[in-house]
Chain A
Amino acid sequence: MLRDITLGQYFPGNSVFHRTDPRVKIVLTMLYIVAVFMADSLLSYLIMTAGTILLIAVSRIPLKTVTSGFKTILFIIIFTAVLNIFWTKGENLLFSFGIINVYAEGLIHAGKMVLRLACLLMGTSVLISYTTSPIALTDGLERLLSPLKVIKLPVHEFAMMMTIALRFIPTLIEETDKIMNAQKARGADFTEGNLLQRAKALIPILIPLFVSAFMRAGELATAMECRCYHGGEGRTRMTVLKTKPLDWILLSVFIAYGVGIILL
């Protein structure tokens, strides 16, 4: 059923990364991505992999959860690996089969590629997706980007939109479910017929869904007005994000990690 879809991948816990300031985590993630892309020599690859393993260990997210994200992009990984194996030309020909030549360089290249993608995926998901709740992430982004308000970028409005979207996604999923059932009870059929017929069968769902979404939006706007909402100006926050020593330590570790990978 539709409502079984879980939103985001947040995995509640109390690890170091769970406790890190979301702003710092965003910066850490960016540092990490840069570092992974900079890895070049064998040693730097080793450090990169070791670092990622350490990251997963510290986050205390079960390995099964971390690797499960793999399935969705497995195809892309295999595809790029195969491309790399067949198309990389080098000096050490391993074997050839008709027009296909496989070189040792190709294999190494593909191996590096897979390793890099794997680290990237697991590292960022541990740093951000699994250990940060969507609301903390939105909050962190808003505050991190707040200097951009000076150049009139609607940072607050963007964050508000994200928050409301996160709040209403489960509601709208439930509503879709309900409307679908109601139309099914009137004999609507969503599974038969050709593509055009099926597209047409969606009208009885989409129209009520839009009507209700607009109605909700209107009511929410009124309710927000009643609660004195008037944009980001002069607004305070209940939770103040304060960086703790832990955040600075993590930041230094990550910088060292990045510099290490680049230098070696």
Chain B
Amino acid sequence: MTKIELKGVSYLYGGKTPFEKKALNNINACIEEGSITGIIGHTGSGKSTLVQLLNGLLRPTEGQILLDGRDIWEKPKKMRALRFKVGLVFQYPEYQLFEETVKQDIAFGPKNMGLSSDEAERRVMDAAKFCGLGQELMGKSPFELSGGQKRRVAIAGVMAMSPEVLILDEPAAGLDPQGRSDIFGGICEYRRKTGATVIIVSHSMEDIARYCDRVLVMSKGQVWAEGSCDEIFSRADELEAIGLDIPQIARLVRLLKEKGVDLGDKLYTVGDVYRALLPYFTGGDGGAS
């Protein structure tokens, strides 16, 4: 079932001034309910504008955005209600923390929703659990925490609103490998428990290849391609041509092909390539792994 549909969406920055700039141009796309969609594109390709449109922070200059088949701008006064349904985590969200304790900060969203304190409390605890924040942290000031912990508190603050669609802009930027997998672990956990639709904006093809099932590629304010990871990453050369990085392992596969060793298509994670190589090293038919 389609959760979000974009119909001919365009967005103009600085309309009616000399600095007018078309950030998005006639976007048409569908996002399936319960999927994890990765949005990739280099800086300035329109990704950030797109996620702000989905959350109703920006209003399309042209076109429509449908959530469950209804135009989100049908009743502009109800925009707040939409934001509780479509949660957006900005880049470096730790800079939005402001409350005295971690618990209060996570509760900011639920409180704005007007939930009873019992319900809010329950949601805060659930969100904290998804993000791996222990009880001992809840009474601390968010400013005392490490960078990775702060990031998780900020993400929990959006999860606590139990959005049906969770959008994250570069959720793991600047974190070390362990920190990255903690964040993505939390996101996957949230989706597993709630069945939410997840949209992740990232520069890291490795992360997209590992966690997402659909990919939307943006370039110059337009949707350049949309499809499964298989479909998208098999077009490595074209992706590089529009200024994107492909996973190192995919570059290895391509180099091998140039040397006359063809391992096949659709190999873009370490596991894929390992399985493709198994027959050569075990002498068998490659079924054993």
Among A175, A178, A187, A208, the residue within 8 A (CB) of B98 is A208
Query: B135: shortest Cβ distance to chain A, in Å?
Result: 23
B14 interface residue (CB < 8 Å to A): yes
With A185-B55, A203-B98 as given contacts, are A178 and B80 in contact (CB-CB < 8 Å)? no
Give bound CA distance, A4 to B20, whole Å: 11
Q: Which of A164-205 contact B (CB under 8 A)?
A: 175, 178-179, 181-189, 203-204
With A204-B98, A208-B96, A212-B95 as given contacts, are A186 and B108 in contact (CB-CB < 8 Å)? yes
Report yes or no: A187 in contact with B93, Cβ–Cβ below 8 A: no
User: Chain B residues with Cβ under 8 A from A184's Cβ?
Assistant: 57, 83
For B81, give the chain A residue with the smallest CB separation.
A187
User: Chain A residues with Cβ under 8 A from B14's Cβ?
Assistant: 4
User: Chain B residues with Cβ under 8 A from A185's Cβ?
Assistant: 55, 57, 83, 87-90, 158
- Residue interface mask B62-106, A partner, CB < 8 A = 1: 000000000000000000100110011110010111100000000
A63 interface residue (CB < 8 Å to B): no
B28 interface residue (CB < 8 Å to A): no
Report yes or no: B17 in contact with A182, Cβ–Cβ below 8 A: no
For A204, give the chain B residue with the smallest CB separation.
B98
Report yes or no: B158 in contact with A208, Cβ–Cβ below 8 A: no
Give bound CA distance, A85 to B113, whole Å: 58
- Residue interface mask A1-16, B partner, CB < 8 A = 1: 0001000000000000
Query: B200: shortest Cβ distance to chain A, in Å?
Result: 16
B161 interface residue (CB < 8 Å to A): yes
Q: Which of B83-142 contact A (CB under 8 A)?
A: 83-84, 87-90, 93, 95-98, 108-109, 112-113
User: Chain B residues with Cβ under 8 A from A226's Cβ?
Assistant: none
Give bound CA distance, A188 to B88, whole Å: 13
Query: A175: shortest Cβ distance to chain B, in Å?
Result: 8
Chain A at the B interface: SS class:
helix
Among B19, B55, B96, the residue within 8 A (CB) of A179 is B96
Q: How many residues of B contact A (CB 8 A)?
A: 26
User: Chain B residues with Cβ under 8 A from A207's Cβ?
Assistant: 98
Give bound CA distance, A179 to B108, whole Å: 14
Give bound CA distance, A175 to B92, whole Å: 11
Query: A147: shortest Cβ distance to chain B, in Å?
Result: 42
Q: Which of B244-260 contact A (CB under 8 A)?
A: none
For B88, give the chain A residue with the smallest CB separation.
A185
Report yes or no: A4 in contact with B17, Cβ–Cβ below 8 A: yes
- Residue interface mask B36-73, A partner, CB < 8 A = 1: 00000000000000001001010000000000000000
A238 interface residue (CB < 8 Å to B): no
Report yes or no: A189 in contact with B112, Cβ–Cβ below 8 A: yes
Query: B281: shortest Cβ distance to chain A, in Å?
Result: 50
A42 interface residue (CB < 8 Å to B): no
Give bound CA distance, A203 to B111, whole Å: 15
Q: Which of B1-18 contact A (CB under 8 A)?
A: 14, 17
A211 interface residue (CB < 8 Å to B): yes
B171 interface residue (CB < 8 Å to A): no
Query: B131: shortest Cβ distance to chain A, in Å?
Result: 15
Query: A179: shortest Cβ distance to chain B, in Å?
Result: 6
Report yes or no: B158 in contact with A186, Cβ–Cβ below 8 A: yes
Report yes or no: A188 in contact with B98, Cβ–Cβ below 8 A: no
User: Chain B residues with Cβ under 8 A from A175's Cβ?
Assistant: 95
Give bound CA distance, A90 to B19, whole Å: 53
User: Chain B residues with Cβ under 8 A from A211's Cβ?
Assistant: 95, 98, 143
Report yes or no: A181 in contact with B52, Cβ–Cβ below 8 A: yes
Give bound CA distance, A175 to B91, whole Å: 12
Report yes or no: A186 in contact with B57, Cβ–Cβ below 8 A: no
For B108, give the chain A residue with the smallest CB separation.
A186
Report yes or no: B52 in contact with A187, Cβ–Cβ below 8 A: no
User: Chain A residues with Cβ under 8 A from B143's Cβ?
Assistant: 211
Query: A129: shortest Cβ distance to chain B, in Å?
Result: 19
User: Chain A residues with Cβ under 8 A from B87's Cβ?
Assistant: 185
Residue of A181, A183, A186, A204 most packed against chain B (CB within 10 A): A186
Query: B68: shortest Cβ distance to chain A, in Å?
Result: 19
With A203-B98, A208-B95 as given contacts, are A187 and B57 in contact (CB-CB < 8 Å)? no
User: Chain B residues with Cβ under 8 A from A179's Cβ?
Assistant: 95-96
Among B17, B95, B96, B109, the residue within 8 A (CB) of A187 is B109
Give bound CA distance, A181 to B54, whole Å: 13
Sample of 12 A–B contacts (CB below 8 Å) = A178-B95, A182-B95, A184-B83, A185-B57, A185-B87, A185-B89, A186-B83, A186-B161, A187-B112, A208-B97, A211-B98, A212-B95
Chain A interface residues toward B at CB < 8 A: 4, 175, 178-179, 181-189, 203-204, 207-208, 211-212
Chain B interface residues toward A at CB < 8 A: 14, 17, 19, 52, 55, 57, 80, 83-84, 87-90, 93, 95-98, 108-109, 112-113, 143, 157-158, 161
The 10 residue pairs across chains A and B that have the minimum distance between CB atoms = A187-B112, A207-B98, A182-B96, A186-B109, A185-B88, A182-B90, A204-B98, A208-B98, A181-B57, A208-B96
8 further contact pairs, Cβ within 8 A, besides A186-B108, A187-B80, A208-B95: A182-B90, A186-B109, A187-B83, A187-B108, A188-B108, A188-B112, A203-B98, A208-B96
